Amino acid sequence: MADNQAPQAEAPAPTGDLDITVKSPKTSREVSLKKNLGANLADAVRLFGEDVVFSIFRAQAVIKLQATVRGVLDKAENAVEKALETGNAWKPGVVRVGGGPKKNPMQALLEQVKTGKLSKQDLRAELERQLAALTVEDEEG
């Protein structure tokens, strides 16, 4: 496993029926239902057959692989070769460390104040510096 990958945490196995909610943004209608999709792989195969379960796995694996490679392609600074390397190294159930959403900069500053790494005075100075930078950009743009 590469340094920038970690095993994906396993979700608890479903037991019994799943509660599924479906919403229609076009009509604003919603329905909820219970559906037994199996408590584990063997149960799913028993309920739907090996071909169906494998077909769904394969389709979802392709979608997740495409999303991973697209994430590399979406960054203009990345070479196409990096996207190919990422795709070739991809394995189901393994997530890239650091590939998650970026932390809100304001939230990061507030967390530093809460943990004592940044004083309120330093926070105020940083906010004033950021505001001054925005003001300069507004005047130039």
Counting as low any pLDDT under 70, the low residues of the chain are 1-16, 96-103, 136-141
User: Between helices 41-48 and 50-73, what is the axis angle to 10°?
Assistant: 120
CA dist 85 and 96 (Å) reads 13
pLDDT digits (tens, 9 = 90+) for 70-82: 999 999 898 999 9
Sequence-ordered list of residues with C-beta below 8 angstroms from that of 35, at least 6 positions apart, any chain: 17, 18, 20
The whole-number pLDDT of residue 15 equals 62
Q: List C-alpha distances in Å: 15 to 21, 44, 130.
A: 17, 12, 51
Tell the residue number behind the tokens 């057959």, with chain if given: 49
Cβ(123)–Cβ(109) under 8 Å?
A: yes
Residues 46-56 have pLDDT tens digits of 999 999 999 99
Whether the Cβ atoms of residue 59 and residue 42 lie closer than 8 Å to each other: no
Asked whether the beta carbons of 18 and 36 are under 8 A apart, the reply is: yes
Model pLDDT, residue 129? 82
Query: Token match 């340094």: residue?
Result: 3
Closest CA to 35 of 12, 56, 15, 17: 17
